[in-house]
Structure 1
Amino acid sequence: MTLEICFAKDKLNARKIWMLRASNLQLQSDTEIVAVDPTENFIRYYHFLEKEFSRFLIEDSLCSVPSMMDGLKTTQRKVLFAAMEGLKGKKRVDEFAGDVVNKTVYKHGSSHMEGTIIGMAQTFVGSNNVNLLHPTGQFGSRYEGGKDHSTAYYLYVELNDITKFIFRDDDKDLLEFLEEDGKLVQPKWYLPVVPMSLVNGTTGIGSGGGSNIPNHHMNDVINALFKLLRGPAIAEDRNSISLKPGYRGFKGRVEKSTDNERGIKCTIYGCATEISDTVVEINEIPPGKTIVEYRSFLQSLMPDACNRSESSKMKYPTIECFQELHEDENNLRFKISLDKSNMMFARKRGLLEAFNLVRKMSVETLYLLDEIQELRQFDNAEETLTTFFDMRLPYYAARKAKLLERMSNDMIRIDNTILYLEAMDKGEIKQMNRKKLVAKFTEKGYKAIPNDGDSGFDHLINLSCDERDIECLPNLVAEREGLHQRMEEMQKARDIDLWIKDLEELQQKLAEEGVEPQKRKVERTSASSASDKRTRFGP
């Protein structure tokens, strides 16, 4: 029975249940779950499947399916960790891949890591809505769907400025960093201020479940979070939230419908313009189709096309010729010539359908890893957003507590330093060894700071000669007043106020940068004049 559950195609649901039952195995901890005794000559397949094979399936899902918390797969999280911890300025992709492998104990070689880095930096339409790494070089385009990127040796990346506004440094103390081979590596997940699984979309196939989530515009996701944070009744606002897929730089139209049985259905439309009775101009193709693929499609509609099927003739018109007049990959222009009878056929069918400019997506696989690393299915993007909201909000309370603790320690440091400088100026404390200094500080009632060396007074013992000067006193007093004001503001702030502030700063950064895809010239032929008579199809 177990063998059938593990491998039979018609036992997918049973396999999901079987995996969920085994999901309490903490694969990323130090716990070893081993079924095979190397000293034994034989092992029952039941024991192998229940322990060893189930572990493989769960680990496969952990690597292949993104986390709901940060929208990243394990390899992408390793890249982000290495970038945020040690990527200063531009670095060659092949060198950075080596750094990631060493820093995060990645065991599958640098070649796959290079591909992950390139994917996180791509900006063409249909790739990332917000690229976490900033690219320098040819990272691929719509021409071949990113496959036309240069080799890693000629590419450079650096951490994108906007990444720091998505993954805030203030949340670093809340992260649970994993340990591999005795070394601290990437966290279990990051805490972005928006659900990146929706912003950049995600595609991943794991054992027992997968993800196929389209991209959504960052501003749409932020505004939906604002609605939850600022609404008078959160329960009511949840029902009114609606998220529509969107791709950065895409000039076409995206429509979404929800089916209770099949989940989200997305229909993506390109753009076609009727120039005259015999000329059609294509100005946009749906994301997922490359320029090369669409060119091949148009070539298959030519009269001399080989092996054109009867079904193709019934669905698509026959064209006489076409020209490619693209300015760049973001300003497409296919000029198509056809006779009047085929134009009538295209009109009757609809230009968008007739020229294969409609892409339908049935998003039935909305699986993500939740906060405790369990595979979880979501009905739609709205449920993903609200679940992220419920899980993310308590961490703002934890952040506030950590920040207040840090501010309190800074206040103790400043107060102690002021008392120390005044005592030295009056001759009450003189230069002496460490042990006597600690005893003197304790005698005079100085407050120790937790984890500040063995004594709690390293902030005083390690002061430089310049910092021991009494002339530093006015600056310390001013710093204390400013810190006191910030502490009062933090104590009054609500958890949702901290989140709203983060979102407002992120939205402002988006407006400053524009977040527009880079342009790349693509192959073009000589242009022809076009008639002014135009009938527009699509947006």
Structure 2
Amino acid sequence: NIKYYKGLGTSSAAEGKGYFSDLPKHELTFKWEGDEDRTSIERAFSKSMADARKEWLRQYDPDVYVDHTRSHLSYTTFVDKELIHFSNADNLRSIPAMLDGLKPGQRKILFSCFKRGKAFLKNEVKVAQLAGYVSEHSAYHHGEQSLAGTIVGMAQGFTGSNNISLLYPSGQFGTRLMGGKDAASPRYIFTKLPQLTRLIFHPDDDALLNFLEEDGQSIEPAFYVPILPMVLVNGADGIGTGWSTNVPNYNPREIVANLRRMMDGEEPLPMDPWYRGFNGTVTQADSKGTYLTYGVVSKLDSTTLKITELPVRKWTQDYKESVIEPMVTGGEKAG
């Protein structure tokens, strides 16, 4: 059996005594070696050195590790042979893959939902129970509270969230009022797998996927290959180390039409971002692909404005607290 250790909490009392009874064996002393160490630390953490951080991560080698038989360690060695593994993992965990539009946690959830079989297409299960199932069957090593939050996010369907929800929301999964933060507790809400999700991530493709192995068990694939580019359908947001991404949502019907054009050897037509249920305006701000969204306001009389739409992801409660209430009370704008 393979056992995953995370921090001292996983270790037994006997194992802990073993660690601390022979500290010279388990201790590495950091040794300052001057300007080279200073440069390495600044490259890894300074906000002004993001480009240098990209180049550093491009040289990533998963087989290079710190020599733990040594008693001393320079900061440069630590940064280049130990911290770089965390920084690379941070990008993999935080930035969705282009191929399926999923982060590893989301991919583990889908894998576990597919593993539950056809019964999960009909029978609902509590979000909290599904989180436990995912943790057990996909070698998920982080908190189940975070996992439950990811499940809730995959099921949300209010304007500004998903154009196509990959999970079915049964209960209160959040609204535009607070951007989904008003979702009920995972103990009280249920979900299941929509048939549409299994059509997008078609089971006939499963045999072609590269399923990973961790802790001695077969887990989710390195990536799925959905029939639609889900990175465009539901967008992608993430901040990693050196890199970040912000891809807006696009209209699934326009995406399908462009795919058919490309299959026929034609050029795809340009697309603008699209959010299901949004009644405002989306305009291109520059030639680099930046877009702005505008809400809708109408003047009823000399003292009354009627707001019927807010910009995408400007949530109602936040707008009331930061704009409306200061205007009414005469106070300063919050934030």
Whether TM exceeds 0.5 here: the answer is yes
Equivalents in 2 of 1:108, 1:33: separation in Å? 25
TM-score w.r.t. the length of structure 1 is 0.52
SS class of match (1:275): strand
Whether 1:47 and 2:47 are equivalent positions in the alignment is no
Q: Is the partner of 1:154 in helix, strand or coil?
A: coil
Corresponding position: 1:19 with 2:53:
no
Q: TM-score, normalised by structure 2?
A: 0.83
Match of 1:244 among 229, 253, 272: 272
Whether the 8 Å CA contact 2:40–2:75 is kept in 1: the answer is no
Aligned to 2:312: 287
Q: Which amino acid aligns with 2:273?
A: P
Counterparts in 2 of 1:51 and 1:95: CA distance versus 1, 3 Å: same
CA distance in structure 1 between the aligned counterparts of 2:147 and 2:308, rounded to whole angstroms:
35
Residue aligning to 1:306: 331
Aligned equivalent of 1:92, options 119, 126, 144 = 126
Aligned counterpart, 1:254: 282
Matches within 5 A, 1:339-358: none
Cα deviation code 1:375-428 (max 9, x no counterpart): xxxxxxxxxxxxxxxxxxxxxxxxxxxxxxxxxxxxxxxxxxxxxxxxxxxxxx
Question: For residues 179-328 of structure 1, what are the structure 2 equivalents within 5 Å?
Answer: 179-231=213-265, 234=266, 237-238=267-268, 241-259=269-287, 263-296=288-321, 297-302=323-328, 304-307=329-332
Measured against aligned partners, the alpha-carbon deviations of 1:212-259 in whole angstroms (never above 9, x if no partner) come to: 11111111111121221123xx4xx15xx3110011111111112442
CA deviations 1:490-529 (Å, max 9, x no partner) are xxxxxxxxxxxxxxxxxxxxxxxxxxxxxxxxxxxxxxxx
- C-alpha separation in 2, matches of 1:246 and 1:307: 33
Give the C-alpha shift of residue 122 in structure 1: 0.6
Q: Matched residue of 1:298: which SS? A: helix
Checking the alignment, whether the CA contact within 8 Å between 2:238 and 2:246 is kept in structure 1 is: yes
Q: How does 1:34-113 map to 2 (within 5 A)?
A: 34-37=65-68, 39-86=69-116, 88=120, 89-113=123-147
Letter in 1 for 2:125: K
Q: Distance in 2 between matches of 1:150 and 1:164?
A: 26
1:51 maps to amino acid: K
**Structure 2 CA distance for aligned equivalents of residues 64 and 149 of structure 1:** 22
| In structure 2, distance between residues paired with 1:5 and 1:285 | 40
Greater shift in the superposed pair: 84-93 or 61-70: 84-93
2:4 paired residue number: none
Matches of 1:207 and 1:288 in 2, distance apart?
24
The structure richer in helix per residue is 1
2:151 aligned to which of 89, 99, 117:
117
Matched-pair contact (CA < 8 Å) for 1:36–1:48? no
Report SS of the residue matched to 1:282.
strand
Letter in 1 for 2:44: C
| C-alpha deviation, 1:75, in angstroms | 0.3
CA RMSD of aligned residues (A): 1.8
Q: Secondary structure at the match of 2:174?
A: coil
Written as runs of structure 1 = structure 2, the 5 A alignment for 1:103-502 is 103-231=137-265, 234=266, 237-238=267-268, 241-259=269-287, 263-296=288-321, 297-302=323-328, 304-307=329-332
Unpaired segments ≥5 residues, structure 1: 26-31, 310-539
Partners of 1:258 and 1:198 in 2: CA distance: 19
Cα deviation, residue 45, structure 1 = 2.1
Residue identity matched to 1:83 = C
The one-letter code sitting in structure 1 at the alignment partner of 2:49 is K
Q: How far apart, CA to CA, are the structure 2 residues paired with 1:204 and 1:156?
A: 27
Show the counterpart of 1:9.
47
Q: Distance in 1 between matches of 2:85 and 2:257?
A: 40
Write out per-residue CA displacement over residues 180-207 of structure 1, whole angstroms, 9 at most, x where no aligned residue. Answer: 0111000000000111111111110011
* SS, match of residue 195 in structure 2: coil
Aligned counterparts of 1:194 and 1:54: Cα–Cα separation in 2: 33
**What is the distance in 2 between the residues matched to 1:51 and 1:34?**
5
AA paired with 1:298? I
Identical columns (%): 36
| Conservation of the 8 A alpha-carbon contact between 2:97 and 2:223 | yes
Amino acid corresponding to residue 318 of structure 2 in structure 1: E
The letter of the residue matching 2:79 is L
- Equivalences, count: 292
Deviation of 1:33 after TM superposition, in Å, equals 4.2
Compute the displacement of 1:307 (Å).
4.1
5 Å matches for 1:511-530?
none
2:186 and 2:42 mapped to 1: Cα distance?
A: 43
1:294-320 alpha-carbon deviations (Å, 9 max, x no partner) = 222212112x323469xxxxxxxxxxx
Decide whether the 8 Å contact of 1:35 with 1:52 is kept in 2: yes
3-state SS in 2 of match to 1:225: helix
Query: Cα offset for 1:9?
Result: 2.1
Q: Residue 523 of structure 1 corresponds to which residue in structure 2?
A: none
Contact 1:134 1:159 in 2 (8 A): yes
